[in-house]
């Protein structure tokens, strides 16, 4: 059974995506279907965003590196939740 998704997106993005997908022999609907199926296969975004919430990829990587090196670690989820809630 099929269902419908309605999204709002700026015209420049839509037109640019259509042109790129058409050059690959796809229409916009097929490109979106491929993207959504890949999200399911990978259980995450099928790419690494270059910028999220104003942070560049390099800034995000630096923050992750710092967190891994200096972040607090927990042996169990309960231990973590107890620390968060106290």
Report the chain's mean pLDDT, rounded to a whole number.
90
User: pLDDT of 5-41, one tens digit each?
Assistant: 999 999 999 999 999 999 999 999 999 999 999 999 9
Q: How many domains does the chain have?
A: 2
In this structure, the answer to whether residues 42 and 59 fall within a common structural domain is: no
In this structure, the answer to whether residues 6 and 29 fall within a common structural domain is: yes
What pTM did the predictor assign?
0.57
Query: What is the domain range of residue 57?
Result: 49-86
pLDDT at 40: 95
In this structure, the answer to whether residues 10 and 41 fall within a common structural domain is: yes
Neighbours of 28 (CB within 10 A): 14
Strand residue runs (E) in 13-72:
51-52, 55-56
């Amino acid at each position: 059974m099929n269902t419908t998704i309605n999204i709002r997106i700026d015209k420049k993005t839509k037109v640019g995506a259509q042109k790129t997908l058409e050059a690959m022999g796809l229409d916009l609907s097929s490109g979106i279907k491929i993207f959504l199926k890949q999200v399911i296969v990978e259980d995450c975004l099928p790419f690494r965003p270059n910028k999220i919430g104003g942070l560049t990829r390099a800034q995000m990587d630096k923050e992750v590196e710092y967190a891994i090196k200096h972040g607090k670690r927990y042996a169990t989820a309960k231990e973590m939740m107890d620390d968060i809630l106290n």
